[in-house]
Chains A and B, each alone.
Chain A
Amino acid sequence: MQTETKSRVDQLTTPAGHPVTVLRFEGDIASTSKDAVLGVYQALPKDSTKLVLLDFTGVDYINSSGIALVIQLLIEASNAGQKVYAFGLSPHFTKVFTMVGITKYAGLFPSQTEAMAAL
C-alpha cells in the first residue's frame, strides 16, 4: 500500500568548491523505508563524505516512522562528523520538521540551487 521509497546518490561540488553527497528520495518515507534511507546513507564512504544533502523533492508522504529514520541518519552523521542539510520539503513537512526540532541539526533550504549556494 505504501509507495516504495526509491533513493539514489549524486556527487556534486558547490560553487565554493566543496564536495557534496546528495541523497535523493522518491515515494513515501515510512517504516518500510529503512534500506532506502539509512541503508543508502550507511553505504557512503565515511572518510570522504563531509557534506550530505537530502533531496525530498520527490517525496509526498512522510510519517513519524519516516521522521525517525531521518533522525537516525542525523545521529549517525553527527557521530561521523558530517554536516547534513535538506531541501525540497513541502511547506507542510517543513513545518513538521521544524516542530520536531530536526532543523536544529539539519539546515533546510527550499531548493537545491539555494542549498548549493549556501554550502
Chain B
Amino acid sequence: MSEAKTTTVEVKLPTRLGYEKVAMSTAASVAKLMGFPEDRVEDLKTAVAEACINAIEHGNRLNETLSVGVVLRANTDQLEVKVIDDGTGIKRQPAKPDIDRKMHGEEDPRGMGMFLIQALVDEAEWVAGSDGKSSYVRLLIKLDKNDTA
C-alpha cells in the first residue's frame, strides 16, 4: 500500500438492512491495510454503515430488486468511500440532532445517521444523480489526521 497509485475495491450490496456490515468490514480491512489507527477505523466503520443504511432505507426505499454500490479508493494518504444508490438524493441537510428536543418528544429519536457521518469523517458530501438516480454520498478519511493534530 506504500505506492502512490490508487487501489480500488468495489462491493455490491443487496438492498437489505444488515448488509451494511459487509461494507463496514470491507472498509475496515482496507483502512487497516493503509495503516489507519484503530480509533479512525472505528469512525470509518460507523460512517460507512450509516451511509449504507441511508442508501438502503431512503435511497433504494428497501426495494430488494436494487443494489447499493460501495466503491473504496485508497491511495497513500487518504481513503475515499462512495456509497451509491438509485434514489434521487437528499434535498436538504437535516438539522443537527438535539437530544433535549428528542427527550421532550419534540424531535424524532431517529435521524442521526447524517450527523454521525459528518462528525466521524474528514469530508462528506451528498451528490444527487444527474439522471434522477445514481445518487451517492462521498466520504473521505485522511491518514495523517491524528499525526498533524
Residues of B within 8 A of A2 (CB): 17-18, 21
A/B interface sample: 27 pairs, CB < 8 A: A1-B16, A2-B18, A30-B17, A30-B18, A61-B49, A63-B50, A63-B113, A64-B50, A64-B53, A64-B110, A64-B113, A64-B116, A67-B112, A68-B108, A68-B109, A68-B112, A71-B99, A72-B109, A74-B103, A75-B105, A75-B109, A99-B115, A101-B98, A101-B99, A104-B99, A104-B100, A105-B103
Which secondary structure dominates where chain B touches chain A? helix
- Encode contact with A along B14-28: 1 for CB under 8 Å, 0 otherwise: 001111111000000
Q: How many A-B residue contacts, CB cutoff 8 Å?
A: 75
Of residues 81 through 133 on chain B, the ones whose CB sits less than 8 Å from some CB of chain A are: 97-100, 102-103, 105, 108-113, 115-116, 119
Query: How many residues on chain B are close to A (CB under 8 Å)?
Result: 30
Query: How many residues on chain A are close to B (CB under 8 Å)?
Result: 27
- B residues near A (Cβ < 8 Å) are 16-22, 39, 42-43, 46, 49-50, 53, 97-100, 102-103, 105, 108-113, 115-116, 119
Beta-carbon contact of A1 and B112 below 8 Å: no
Of residues 68 through 84 on chain A, the ones whose CB sits less than 8 Å from some CB of chain B are: 68-69, 71-72, 74-75, 78
Residues of A within 8 A of B43 (CB): 92
- B53 partner, pick from A32, A65, A104, A105, beta carbons under 8 A: A65
- B46 nearest CB neighbor, chain A only: A96
A92 to B119 CA separation, bound complex (whole angstroms): 13
Residues of B within 8 A of A63 (CB): 20, 46, 49-50, 53, 113
